[in-house]
Amino acid sequence: MRRISVLAGILLLSMAASSIRLSAADGTKGKLRVYEARVAAGQPAQGDWYFKVELEPILFRIAGVQNKYRVLRINILNRSDVPLRLSAADKVQVRFAESGATPVDASVDVSQSDSAWWKSLAPDLQSALSYPDQAPIRRGEEENVFAYIPIARASSLPSAILFTVSSYSSTPIQLREMGTAKF
């Protein structure tokens, strides 16, 4: 009888243990995802423009602005002799696996698309979040721009980020996860 109780206890414990999902303590749960692209600026000897987006997968999926937007911060570093000029004509689109080949438009100027929220921000925050229209990014300079994706269209991590800088080309620069970036 005692042997049956011990075996039944072991069986119950093993069943309970197999039904509990334990997360590995290997850092993969919150591992930073890095999307990047390098674009040659003029002649190869002139260097490049480097674009980078860093996303923390869990925070990207649960954090939103006003329950309306997921936010991307695109870091731009000019490592060339050629200034990169941003303008109001620039645009950001994001590809998600669930949306197939159709990219989702992101706003770079929420002062126009959501003026009530924009006006509620402190002036210093508005200044920090404003798209730098006509501001040249010179050699060694770094700029951060923000893109606002409709939260209803961004339920997972991006598969690619498409950034069209109109002063450079009408073809978008494709930022892909590190290791798969296309140049």
The pLDDT confidence band at residue 183, using thresholds 50, 70 and 90, is very low
What are the phi and psi torsion angles at 69 (to 5°)?
-135, 145
Q: Which of the two residues, 6 and 80, has the higher pLDDT score? A: 80
Looking at residues 14-40, what average pLDDT do you find?
Answer: 69
Residue 90: closest CA among 76, 104, 109, 71: 109
Whether residue 99 lies inside any domain: the answer is yes
Whether residue 160 lies inside any domain: the answer is yes
- Residue range 42-89, pLDDT digits in tens: 776 688 999 999 999 889 888 888 889 999 999 999 999 999 999 989
Residue 180 has pLDDT above 50, yes or no: no
- Residue range 91-147, pLDDT digits in tens: 999 999 876 778 999 999 988 888 999 999 999 999 999 988 777 999 999 999 999
Cα–Cα distance, 106 to 21 (Å, whole number): 36
Parent domain of 31: 24-177
Question: For the chain, how many structural domains are there in total?
Answer: 1
Whether residue 28 lies inside any domain: the answer is yes
Whether residue 56 lies inside any domain: the answer is yes
Residue 42: closest CA among 83, 1, 11: 83
pLDDT at position 43 is: 73
